[in-house]
Amino acid sequence: MAVVPLALRRAPLDVLATLAREPGAFLLEVPDDTRPFVILGCAPVAELRVPDGAGGDALAAIERFVAETPLVDPALPFPLGGGVVGCFGYELGRLIEPPRDGIVCGGDLPLALLRRYDPLLAYDRSREQYTLLCSDPRAGAPWLERLAAPAPSWDGPLGGPLAPLLAPARYREAVARILAYLAAGDVYQVNLTQPFTAPLVAPAWALAAQLGRQHPVPYGAYLDLGSTQVVANSPELFLRRRGRRVETRPIKGTRPRGDGPSDDAALAAELLRDPKERAEHVMIVDLERNDLGRVCEVGTVAVERHAVIESHPTVHHLVSTVTGRLRLEVGLADLLRATFPGGSITGAPKVRAMEIIRELEPWPRGPYTGAFGFLDPRGDLELGLAIRTAIVTGGTVRYHAGGGIVADSDPERELAEAWLKTAALRRALGEEPRRGLELCSSG
């Protein structure tokens, strides 16, 4: 594989606008701690789809597809040396922990979609330098020609107002049902979500660009899956692997940003003190420790940071960092089997929480609360958790939001928290979200 520096002076979101007209276009933010970068591409040269009803070992097939991908020069100034772009739907977890009725339904999209790209375009944020990674060094000239033209722009409104698909009364009933399961000792926490929808008149790349500029987060992404585009604006790391070191950063606990510095600091301090939020957080950190413990060497799983405040443009979150050293024989399939889907978007115990989610959520989640990111053939990977993620199909955007339900949860506050988590999308669509734990107009 050739490594071709490009004399290109354009923001990655502008590059995406140019590439988005091509099939399979994508953009991935990779917030590596030492060298953050962005990967872009289009027109994949190979792909693997895991459809509903997939037979055999889907995770083994995914591992083979990644392992057979050519490795780019390992001396690259990037932590990932070429590989595969992947999107894993939440319902893939039902192949890992099969439902009792044996039925797996992920909606109209595949349970997983992985693609190889040649060329790949990487942007080093620290050096403001683009590099083309390609099997043919002559590929640089056509790419420069393609990107020399002015980037498409979208100046009008993006879409209409966001509205819930589920009546608030139905959501309250679902919370009440979970509270009954909790009281019976059936489960300790369940992450309940609901879908919202809005008309979208702009192309999906314009929504990705608006979110990226207004609400920058560590795990921004645009993935063209064909008739559907995934636009992720996620703050959460699902899995990072570098060599044998593995890391996850679960988020549990939310407060809105304040109206000024003192109000903002007070809300962050309130989140740190809130016993309900901390209890939710501790449960999920313990779950993640247990998941990593299934594939890591004994005694290596540790909580490096516990329940620290991480602030984003619309919310404060509580975040922990859990790490471990993988056993020598652990491959990608083993790692996904032990950890997917993430604990922060399921509950504890995970399998029972997933059964309750399936009972109470009337629509498949699809890509939402799955994972997306980059995987290289050496085993290294960077996967964001697909929260704050919009699914765009045929002029409509669907966006889920929710939160963890525990024994002292209040249904009205849970409704308000879910609505708060839609604030970035509503702002991108042109609404002006009110401050605070607001309720949607329908209740």
- Domain segments of the chain: what residues? 2-149+157-429
Domain 2-149+157-429 superfamily per CATH = Anthranilate synthase (3.60.120.10)
pLDDT at 443 over 50: no
CA–CA–CA angle 45, 49, 51 (5° rounding): 160
The mean of the pLDDT values for the chain is 90
The pLDDT of residue 135: 83
Q: Within 13 Å, how many C-alpha atoms sit on residue 268's CB side?
A: 20
pLDDT at 414 over 50: yes
Mean pLDDT of 170-199: 97
Q: Which of 372, 384, 336, 340 is nearest to 62 (CA)?
A: 336
Q: Which residues are known to be catalytic?
A: 236, 252
Angle of the 275-293 helix axis to the 332-339 helix axis, nearest 10: 150
The pLDDT of residue 97: 73
The pLDDT of residue 401: 97
CB 253 within 8 A of CB 280: yes
pLDDT range class, residue 139, cuts 50, 70, 90: confident
The pLDDT of residue 434: 58
Q: Which of 152, 131, 129 is nearest to 9 (CA)?
A: 129
Mean pLDDT of 193-209: 97
The pLDDT of residue 442: 30
pLDDT at 339 over 80: yes
pLDDT at 162 over 50: yes
End-to-end CA distance of the chain: 56
User: Checking DSSP bridges between strand 2-6 and strand 163-164, what pairing results, if any?
Assistant: unpaired
pLDDT range class, residue 256, cuts 50, 70, 90: very high
Burial class, 136, CB count within 10 angstroms (exposed 0-12 / middle 13-18 / buried 19+):
exposed
The pLDDT of residue 421: 94
The pLDDT of residue 437: 41
* 52 Rama class: left (phi>0) / alpha (psi -120 to 50) / beta: beta
Mention every residue, 6+ apart, whose C-beta is less than 8 A from residue 376: 66, 69, 71, 80, 81, 82, 83, 84
Share of residues in the chain with pLDDT > 90 (%) = 76
**For 63-72, 74-83, 87-96, 326-335, which range has the lowest pLDDT when averaged over its residues?**
74-83
Mention every residue, 6+ apart, whose C-beta is less than 8 A from residue 49: 110, 112, 113
Mean pLDDT of 347-356: 96
pLDDT at 250 over 70: yes
Burial class, 423, CB count within 10 angstroms (exposed 0-12 / middle 13-18 / buried 19+):
buried
The pLDDT of residue 409: 93
Output DSSP code: residue 139: G
Question: Tens digits of per-residue pLDDT, 285-314?
Answer: 999 999 999 999 999 999 999 999 999 999
Q: How far apart are CA 414 and CA 416, in angstroms?
A: 5
pLDDT at 237 over 70: yes
User: Checking DSSP bridges between strand 389-393 and strand 396-405, what pairing results, if any?
Assistant: antiparallel
What values do phi and psi take at 82, rounded to 5?
85, 160
pTM for this one?
0.94
pLDDT range class, residue 384, cuts 50, 70, 90: very high
pLDDT at 75 over 70: no
The pLDDT of residue 3: 80
Q: How far apart are CA 285 and CA 1, in angstroms?
A: 40
The pLDDT of residue 440: 37
Q: Which of 91, 2, 101, 98 is nearest to 50 (CA)?
A: 91
The pLDDT of residue 148: 81
